[in-house]
Structure 1
């Protein structure tokens, strides 16, 4: 499909202090082609010092997150994500089915005013942002510059029985927690029911 922009994107976010390591984001596009490890690594997250952040719930306007362009990949039919929830720790797998209305929205231009440069533009919701949280929760939104995000849905992953890195690390998780995240988790419970 011809897109009205260079490439659509996948973005990754996590609640404050609830750090994740994304082992793999796989995409099945509308042509039926499968793209393994199209994205992965760290998500966009904030770990404010002195427990001043709030990990409860999702932001009213989630940003695009840590993104990667899906160059050469048609619009998504399904996205699979495997991530390590470092706050617990636990490893999860989830499937996010992208409905037809969301793909149609991704190629629909909208008149928008961008406050950062004062310009009126035609803007697109070109990114699928995945919010990854403890308990295997995934929230998906369509996002783009200068437009309000639209929720695609909330999904629940399953525990990966092989553990981190497919069992190749003897149960060791990819990264240690950031000191601010470690301090928060030592003094607060994980708000599992808030996502």
Structure 2
């Protein structure tokens, strides 16, 4: 094979390889994502409603009715053994523009609600491809595809991004407002262990 043919062959192989890699990345583009919730240990919350508006503003999704969220490993932090906690998976390449959440805090028998905007910066972070592998099978999980909401009993919401291979990354905090429920609404009871902890330590404010 002449040097010219060799050079052409090498360039062709590199071109095919680059196209193949680009095709794989495009075929793996983010088309499924999650909004999930977590509460501090013992400060149990019950999800009431989650309304999500897509970035095209043409439609959205609804979930979370009657959902008891997972809890963190500590009453004073958001660290947890599960990456996604109580999640709602959306099969779409359209990401959220905003969402409305309402939930019941069982520790102090209050209900909170808040509309939260999702910035273009956060959506760009979710779509960014990373060559990340993890887990027992060393699987490829390249996206920060989960918006995690830390729901505190004082109504503060900590908004994180994470993913199968990514730790919690705090994006911002926002204060929800108290929502008046019907006079005959009955809050579910805490577990005996959680109630004992709350009776001893109370419901702190401003630590989450």
Under TM normalisation by the shorter chain, which class is it?
0.7 to 0.9
* Change in CA separation of 1:39 and 1:74 when aligned onto 2, cut-off 3 Å: farther
Q: Where in structure 1 do 4 or more consecutive aligned residues deviate above 4 Å?
A: none
**Alignment equivalent of 2:171, drawn from 144, 152, 155:** 152
- Write the distance in 2 (CA, Å) between the matches of 1:44 and 1:181: 13
- Write the distance in 2 (CA, Å) between the matches of 1:63 and 1:91: 26
The answer as to whether partners of 2:141 and 2:165 remain within 8 angstroms in 1 is no
Q: Partner residue of 1:87?
A: 107
Q: Partner residue of 1:130?
A: 149
Give the C-alpha shift of residue 178 in structure 1: 1.3
**Deviation per residue, 1:47-72 (Å, 9 max, x gap):** xxxxxx63113328983211121134
Q: Partner residue of 1:49?
A: none
Give the C-alpha shift of residue 118 in structure 1: 5.7
**Alignment equivalent of 2:191, drawn from 168, 178, 184:** 178
Larger RCO (CA under 8 A, 6+ residues apart): 1
Q: So what's the TM-score if we normalise by structure 1?
A: 0.83
Give the C-alpha shift of residue 124 in structure 1: 0.6
Give the C-alpha shift of residue 37 in structure 1: 2.9
- Write the distance in 1 (CA, Å) between the matches of 2:152 and 2:111: 11
Work out which of the two has the higher radius of gyration on C-alpha atoms and give 1 or 2.
Answer: 2
- Write the distance in 2 (CA, Å) between the matches of 1:73 and 1:22: 25
Higher helix content, 1 or 2 = 2
**Alignment equivalent of 2:69, drawn from 43, 50, 53:** 43
**Deviation per residue, 1:164-187 (Å, 9 max, x gap):** xxx2x71312x2111111111111
Count of residues in Structure 1 that have an aligned counterpart in Structure 2: 181
Give the C-alpha shift of residue 26 in structure 1: 0.7
* Change in CA separation of 1:72 and 1:108 when aligned onto 2, cut-off 3 Å: closer
- Write the distance in 1 (CA, Å) between the matches of 2:59 and 2:106: 28
Q: Partner residue of 2:55?
A: 30
Which blocks of at least 5 consecutive residues in structure 2 are unaligned? 1-26
SS of structure 1 residue aligned to 2:167: coil
What's the Cα RMSD here?
Answer: 2.4
- Write the distance in 1 (CA, Å) between the matches of 2:69 and 2:178: 19
